[in-house]
Amino acid sequence: MALAGSALALLAAAPVAARAQGGWPEPTARYTPPAGAADTSVAGLDLLPWPASISRRAGRLALDSTFTWTVSGYSDGRLVRAVDRALRRLEGRTGMILPRTPTRSGAATLVVRAAGPGMAVQGVGEDESYTLDVASGGAVLAAPTVVGIIRGLETFLQLVRGDGSGWSLPLVRIADRPRFPWRGLLVDVARHWEPPAVIERTLDAMAAVKLNVLHWHLSDDQGFRVESRRYPKLQELGSDGDYYTQDQVRAIVAYARDRGIRVVPEFDMPGHAQSWFVGYPRYASAPGPYHIAERFGVHDAVFDPAKEATYRFLDGFVGEMVKLFPDAYWHVGGDENNGKQWNANPAIQAFIQRQHLGDDAGLQAYFNRRLLEILTRYHKRMVGWDEILHPDLPRTIVIQSWRGAASLAAAARQGYDGILSSGYYLDAMGTAADYYRVDPLPDSLGLDSAQAAHVLGGEACMWGEVITPETIDSRIWPRTAAMAERFWSPKTVTDVAGMYRRLRLVDARLEELGVITDDHPAIMLRRLVPGADIAPLLTLLGAASPVSLGARYWASQTAMRFIPLTTLSEAAVPDPAGARTVGDEVRALLADAPRFAVDRGELAATFRSWRDAEPVIEAQAAASPMVEAGLPLARGLADLGAAGQEALAYLRAGTAAPASWVAQGDSLLARAARPVANLRLMVVPALRDLVAAAAAARPGAE
Amino acid sequence: MALAGSALALLAAAPVAARAQGGWPEPTARYTPPAGAADTSVAGLDLLPWPASISRRAGRLALDSTFTWTVSGYSDGRLVRAVDRALRRLEGRTGMILPRTPTRSGAATLVVRAAGPGMAVQGVGEDESYTLDVASGGAVLAAPTVVGIIRGLETFLQLVRGDGSGWSLPLVRIADRPRFPWRGLLVDVARHWEPPAVIERTLDAMAAVKLNVLHWHLSDDQGFRVESRRYPKLQELGSDGDYYTQDQVRAIVAYARDRGIRVVPEFDMPGHAQSWFVGYPRYASAPGPYHIAERFGVHDAVFDPAKEATYRFLDGFVGEMVKLFPDAYWHVGGDENNGKQWNANPAIQAFIQRQHLGDDAGLQAYFNRRLLEILTRYHKRMVGWDEILHPDLPRTIVIQSWRGAASLAAAARQGYDGILSSGYYLDAMGTAADYYRVDPLPDSLGLDSAQAAHVLGGEACMWGEVITPETIDSRIWPRTAAMAERFWSPKTVTDVAGMYRRLRLVDARLEELGVITDDHPAIMLRRLVPGADIAPLLTLLGAASPVSLGARYWASQTAMRFIPLTTLSEAAVPDPAGARTVGDEVRALLADAPRFAVDRGELAATFRSWRDAEPVIEAQAAASPMVEAGLPLARGLADLGAAGQEALAYLRAGTAAPASWVAQGDSLLARAARPVANLRLMVVPALRDLVAAAAAARPGAE
């Protein structure tokens, strides 16, 4: 509770007033955020997440061959490695060779000053605040902990810019700290395996946007992904051979700690556990034999809570795993147990009677209490999904909500800490704006400050049903960066256009860390049409998004882990910039009623490109059945292009489109709105607005 | 010798006549290669490397939901994994889910039939031959060894194509085997570290083009890259922390064996060994202390051959390492010892006198003899660069030639086995055609067949001075695929245009394995101009290649391992397709004299794009000093564009360009030919031809 309380204190204090500090000139222009929405467009600053407090004045700190750096105050290996990584990235970005060793003088282009190491095992109470003062003589990055320095180094890198005079930083004074102490990303490596290199680059990208929790979903019906030496059949029979060795887990946890990121493991139970029972069927509630699940969705396999052997097994397992995962929190999953095996097992039903547990929910609460005893013995706090909430469980457990903010608020009112994930599911294929608009602590919850303190933060969720090492980057990024700002920045930072403007630069910077997003469609399309021109397919995917996991799941009778994830839908990215641009242009055009003279050239060119793409894609489909699957989508887009061209003509002429044209437009819009090959056209709403405007056009002032 | 002899027998037998085989219909059109150059354009077949023998007939084998497969004859884990990998790639390419288990019936869409496992440790004598018979009822892949099956599966995958009726293979009968038994790629991980994932995807790509030796350059002045448990200061002090653990080495060697690839380690000595001496200065010829070399080039540090302790150390080291590297060959380097430390050390000079070694060359031969004794005790054959050749060394050593085919021929005449690398240096940034034209056994050598049998094959060399994990793919591929064909296919396969046509498809297929080549420039350019349009810079890099390592090295006074490798030159790729296209178009146009009517529109558009790119790049350079470095190149290209447009006008008009125009053209061509920012314009020769043609234009028949 104390930890969450301090988080709230941070929140209340934001934006923090820039502290007066000896030796630094007063800013010539002090930035004061407006009472309503915070202004993230302070000239030329593209920070993301936006800091709690920032002031800017005229001038620049040049970055050139005279660059020096030093570490004053506390230092340790983690700090030195963080500075070294930042300088290597700065070298890569500027092409300059920077000094490998600190200057001995107290003054330097970059002075890094930590007061202390931070917590021995990073926790929810870690102080992540920092101040960054950039003056023309040098920059001072100061923080109470090494983690604060790690956060500030990312801000420092985001400030670097080039112009005709070379590289420099603008003169700013930043005092920054997070709004929420738990800012996470769930990565499911059970449904599809992600090798260590993917996890590492994901951690690098998380650190770049100041996220601090990797929630590692390590087991599920479709796979068990960690080496157990005590129960080796877990990974040997439960994984198809793809799992992390204990050395790899240790290396990843250390890699995360070096970046100020906690690793919270999740071993989902009692349900979502079929892969465990391939090697150890005796702990399941039905006899088996079991195989690794091939289908996705909810399975029947569930731990047997009525056997003492189950708890001895779990005690042994947790006892082994706690040596790998030092974090104070332990995620037990707890979701989506369908109860079928329990209902069908007379011994379990008798156990419910004998123990007066009432029903399956009571039995699950019993299981969780026993699990809690084990975790408590190993000094771990239990985290679980909504379903673990039960009157029998103490207030020390933490609820992660996939059901929604209301569910979380109910838990908070009862005194449970919580984390919001509802609204943050990346596989829902929402836009960055969709996620950005979800606040973990909306005023509508009506929580008092003590209750609100129980909301620790939020977690983006990357479920693994239809992702691979090749597609995961473009599914996580850049959208997760928008959530990272939601979790870090003051609540008043809400300008969507400003977020997108800054997101584009974040995207380019993430590629520096080996994360591929913008280039993802080109890379995958080249394989679909080897040796051919991919521009028409890029045009198509610029207007289309993969459908959500749910839509994909329900549309397919073969939703299973063997589905080849190399289709057009995999080549597409969610929230494509091209579709956003069309939306913006249509809005601008319609706002210019009745003249409709804004930017018409751009829109007309886009509509033409949609029509031009279709015959080329048609020809390519003849040589590629995988492209053929997307043909109806290409035809739908060409139809929209034609309708768009005609709508522009009506608007230009100031003539209302005839009813028959409008009816035809409505019908092709309805057709184009239907998903094809797991893709949906994101430009339909914009075209619908345009058609409607054409129907209502009247002579304008042009 | 016997091994090399059998290689020559293969060569003489190529192309192998398709064996008559019961149950297979006779081909309707038998392919017979012409006496001169082999024809690689058999309609619609895009195999690379081109097989020794192929016949084709009308019809197709459909790949659809009825697909089945089976393994008949010999089977083992390696074979099963190879088939599984091929089927997964086929799934990815077709989007179909294929059966995970073999059919029990003897007939199947794909029957895999190995006669035996092949050698327990793959050697130069491994039989890699296979036959692939594709009939309308099914395909049979047969081979004497699992390695032959691995080769044939790649051919099978290269035959898969799509059309309006779905996926299929053409009906072919292929009998294939390599011309040379040693087809290698050297990867230098000492100058810049390459993590295991890079090595693994490189091995995947090597297997895709039937290369069979990874020559792993594991130590050099700038780094020692393998964990030694006996001498841990080797990696701890000699590597900056980037080295392969013994587990990683074992995993990579196993990964290579699974793909029919041998791993030959190189520990370079007595020179190129400075990193060894950081931890163990006592084995050097001067007292030290030593640090990891920062500069590239030849260093003085060299083992002390006069001390017995040196040999005890090397014996201990080799004794430990042979447990990691099962291959029968062991590369000792042996190159570029400048002798300075030996000359300056009185004890070493006295040793030369005492042992009657004559001079430094005699001392190096002595060192090599002692090293040979050690290697022989561990059952290893010694391989080294040209310099190890010395009358005192036995015929069992193998010479790898960086000096040239003549050097190799001289060795072969003395009875030494040899491998050609001269002409195959990837860092020379040659075109695929350059490498393709170099034959390891040109007739000009004048070797008799016994001598020729000593030429085991060739090795492409990827030296590591200016490569990183990010750039290495585009430096190795696709150019190395052209060499792979040179090493595998019959000598008569020499058509450069056909090679390029097939290379383009190989390129797209390599991306399936995670190797990024075509998209490399876009990925790196996006970081140079975050959020901006990269098309103009892509236009520039479409006409430019990175300069050779030599040119780069000599141009720079700071040629060292700290140079940031993120510049425009790194974003460029060698042998850019855009420049080749311009060359082809200019040739076609000039061949159409005096009408000059061929394809002028394409050329004119290209020239215009060069001119249009320049002002945009100029604007971007104002915000990016790294782009600014390439501005003179962009200006040079714009000048060439203008000259090209004017030349086209003279040709079209049939009017000879005036002398003043020609002089101006010559002068801007000379300017454009000069490298800028480690880039050179590859289109200068084509433009030179065009300007010359304009100078000589006369009224045509248009």
pLDDT in tens, A393-422: 899 999 999 888 888 999 999 999 999 999
Mean pLDDT score of chain B? 91
Of A113-122, A282-291, A504-513, B373-382, the range with the lowest mean pLDDT is: A504-513
Whether residue B346 lies within 8 A of chain A, CB to CB, comes out as no
Percent of chain B whose pLDDT exceeds 70: 92
pLDDT at A553: 76
In one letter, which amino acid is B698? Answer: R
Whether residue B514 lies within 8 A of chain A, CB to CB, comes out as yes
Which two structure tokens, joined as six digits, stand for B170? 């053409």
Pair B490, B15: CB distance under 8 Å: yes
Long-range contacts of B661-669 (CB under 8 A, 24+ apart): B661/B694, B662/B691, B662/B694, B662/B695, B665/B691, B665/B694, B666/B691, B668/B636, B668/B639, B668/B640, B668/B643, B669/B640, B669/B643
Split at pLDDT 50, 70, 90, the class of B170 is very high
Split at pLDDT 50, 70, 90, the class of B101 is very high
A99/chain B closest Cα distance in angstroms: 10
Torsion of CA B250, B253, B257, B260, to 10 degrees: 170
What Å distances lie between residue B656 and A494, B597, B694, B696, CA to CA?
66, 16, 6, 5
Q: Cβ–Cβ of A95/B567 closer than 8 Å?
A: yes
Residue A421 backbone dihedrals phi, psi, to 5 degrees:
-125, -20
Split at pLDDT 50, 70, 90, the class of B401 is very high
Task: Single out the residue of A675, A677, A537, A665 nearest to residue A613, CA to CA.
Answer: A537
Mean pLDDT of A577-595: 92
Tell me how far apart the alpha carbons of residues B227 and B212 are, in angstroms, rounded to a whole number.
Answer: 25
Residue with tokens 């609204």: A423
Of A145-154, B159-168, B211-220, the range with the lowest mean pLDDT is: B159-168
Cα B403–B409–B410 angle (5° rounding)? 85
Q: Cβ–Cβ of B566/A95 closer than 8 Å?
A: yes
Whether residue B307 lies within 8 A of chain A, CB to CB, comes out as no
Annotated catalytic sites of A, by residue? 336
The burial class, CB within 10 Å (0-12 / 13-18 / 19+), for A379 is: exposed
Is the per-residue pLDDT at B404 higher than 90?
no
pLDDT in tens, A186-206: 999 999 999 999 999 999 999
Three-state DSSP class for residue A137: coil
Q: Which residues pair with A400 in a beta bridge?
A: A385, A419
Split at pLDDT 50, 70, 90, the class of A597 is confident
Whether residue B394 lies within 8 A of chain A, CB to CB, comes out as no
Q: Which residues contact A344 (CB under 8 A, 6 or more apart)?
A: A286
Split at pLDDT 50, 70, 90, the class of B41 is low
Is the per-residue pLDDT at B276 higher than 80?
yes
Mutate which: B60, B81, B93, B502, vs A, most A CBs within 10 A: B93
Whether residue A625 lies within 8 A of chain B, CB to CB, comes out as yes
Q: Which residues pair with B75 in a beta bridge?
A: none
pLDDT at A105: 82
From chain A, pick out residues whose CB is under 8 angstroms from the CB of B512: 527
Tell me how far apart the alpha carbons of residues A394 and A420 are, in angstroms, rounded to a whole number.
Answer: 20
CB atoms within 10 A of CB B35: 7
pLDDT at A354: 97
pLDDT at A356: 97
Tell me how far apart the alpha carbons of residues B532 and B675 are, in angstroms, rounded to a whole number.
Answer: 26
Tell me how far apart the alpha carbons of residues B421 and A299 are, in angstroms, rounded to a whole number.
Answer: 58
Q: Which residues pair with B381 in a beta bridge?
A: B329
User: Which 98-157 residues of chain B touch chain A by CB within 8 A?
Assistant: 100
Cα A660–A665–A670 angle (5° rounding)? 130
Whether residue A619 lies within 8 A of chain B, CB to CB, comes out as no
The burial class, CB within 10 Å (0-12 / 13-18 / 19+), for B484 is: buried
Q: Cβ–Cβ of B95/A567 closer than 8 Å?
A: yes
Sign (positive/negative) of CA torsion B214, B219, B220, B225?
positive
Nearest to A564 among B92, B195, B505 (CB): B92
Nearest to B527 among A97, A512, A628 (CB): A512
pLDDT at A701: 47
Tell me how far apart the alpha carbons of residues B477 and B497 are, in angstroms, rounded to a whole number.
Answer: 18
Pair B187, B219: CB distance under 8 Å: no
Tell me how far apart the alpha carbons of residues B190 and A88 are, in angstroms, rounded to a whole number.
Answer: 19
Is the per-residue pLDDT at B624 higher than 80?
yes
CB atoms within 10 A of CB A57: 18
Is the per-residue pLDDT at A16 higher than 70?
no
Split at pLDDT 50, 70, 90, the class of B623 is confident
Pair A92, A512: CB distance under 8 Å: yes
Percent of chain A whose pLDDT exceeds 90: 82
Q: How many residues does chain A have?
A: 702
Torsion of CA B440, B441, B445, B449, to 10 degrees: 140
Whether residue A531 lies within 8 A of chain B, CB to CB, comes out as yes
From chain A, pick out residues whose CB is under 8 angstroms from the CB of B563: 97
Nearest to A622 among B94, B164, B565 (CB): B164
Split at pLDDT 50, 70, 90, the class of A41 is low
Pair A25, A135: CB distance under 8 Å: yes
A38/chain B closest Cα distance in angstroms: 23
Q: Which residues contact A297 (CB under 8 A, 6 or more apart)?
A: A553, A559
Task: Single out the residue of A443, A442, A452 nearest to residue A412, CA to CA.
Answer: A452
What Å distances lie between residue B92 and A472, A649, B69, B86, B305, CA to CA?
16, 44, 17, 10, 55
Tell me how far apart the alpha carbons of residues A109 and A169 are, in angstroms, rounded to a whole number.
Answer: 11
What Å distances lie between residue A601 and A555, A693, B523, CA to CA?
38, 18, 29
Split at pLDDT 50, 70, 90, the class of B392 is confident
Split at pLDDT 50, 70, 90, the class of A598 is confident
From chain B, pick out residues whose CB is under 8 angstroms from the CB of A626: 93-95, 162
Which two structure tokens, joined as six digits, stand for A385? 């999904």
Mean pLDDT of B683-695: 97
Q: Cβ–Cβ of B100/A629 closer than 8 Å?
A: no
Q: Report DSSP state, residue A428.
A: G
Nearest to B508 among A167, A530, A622 (CB): A530
pLDDT at B78: 98
Percent of chain A whose pLDDT exceeds 70: 92
Mean pLDDT score of chain A? 91
Is the per-residue pLDDT at A508 higher than 90?
no
Mean pLDDT of B181-192: 98
Tell me how far apart the alpha carbons of residues B276 and B292 are, in angstroms, rounded to a whole number.
Answer: 9
Tell me how far apart the alpha carbons of residues A361 and A351 are, in angstroms, rounded to a whole number.
Answer: 13
Is the per-residue pLDDT at A9 higher than 50?
no
Tell me how far apart the alpha carbons of residues A631 and A621 are, in angstroms, rounded to a whole number.
Answer: 7
User: Which 427-466 residues of chain B touch chain A by CB within 8 A?
Assistant: none
Split at pLDDT 50, 70, 90, the class of B42 is low
From chain A, pick out residues whose CB is under 8 angstroms from the CB of B511: 523, 526-527
pLDDT at A389: 87
Residue of B nearest to A196 (CA): B197
The burial class, CB within 10 Å (0-12 / 13-18 / 19+), for B278 is: buried
Mutate which: A624, A631, A679, vs B, most B CBs within 10 A: A624
User: Which 557-586 residues of chain B touch chain A by CB within 8 A?
Assistant: 558, 560, 562-567
What are the b/e assignments for A196-224, b being 16+ CB within 10 Å? Answer: bebbbbbbbbbbbbbbbbbbbbbbbbbbb
Is the per-residue pLDDT at A18 higher than 70?
no
Mean pLDDT of A569-581: 96
Q: Which residues pair with A106 in a beta bridge?
A: none
pLDDT at B583: 96
Q: Can you state the percent helix, strand and coil of chain A, rounding each to 5? A: 45, 15, 40
Which DSSP helix (H) or strand (E) runs through B146?
A: helix B146-159
Annotated catalytic sites of B, by residue? 336
Q: Report DSSP state, residue A227.
A: -
Pair B113, B73: CB distance under 8 Å: yes
Q: Cβ–Cβ of B564/A531 closer than 8 Å?
A: no
Tell me how far apart the alpha carbons of residues A188 and A163 are, in angstroms, rounded to a whole number.
Answer: 42
Is the per-residue pLDDT at A702 higher than 90?
no
HEC sequence for A472-536: HHHHHCCHHHHHHHHHHCCCCCCCHHHHHHHHHHHHHHHHCCCCCCCCHHHHHHHHHCCCCCCHH
The interface predicted TM-score of the complex, written ipTM, equals: 0.89
The burial class, CB within 10 Å (0-12 / 13-18 / 19+), for A339 is: middle
pLDDT at B17: 25
With both helix axes pointing from N to C terminus, report the angle between B77-94 and B146-159 in degrees, rounded to the nearest 10. 10
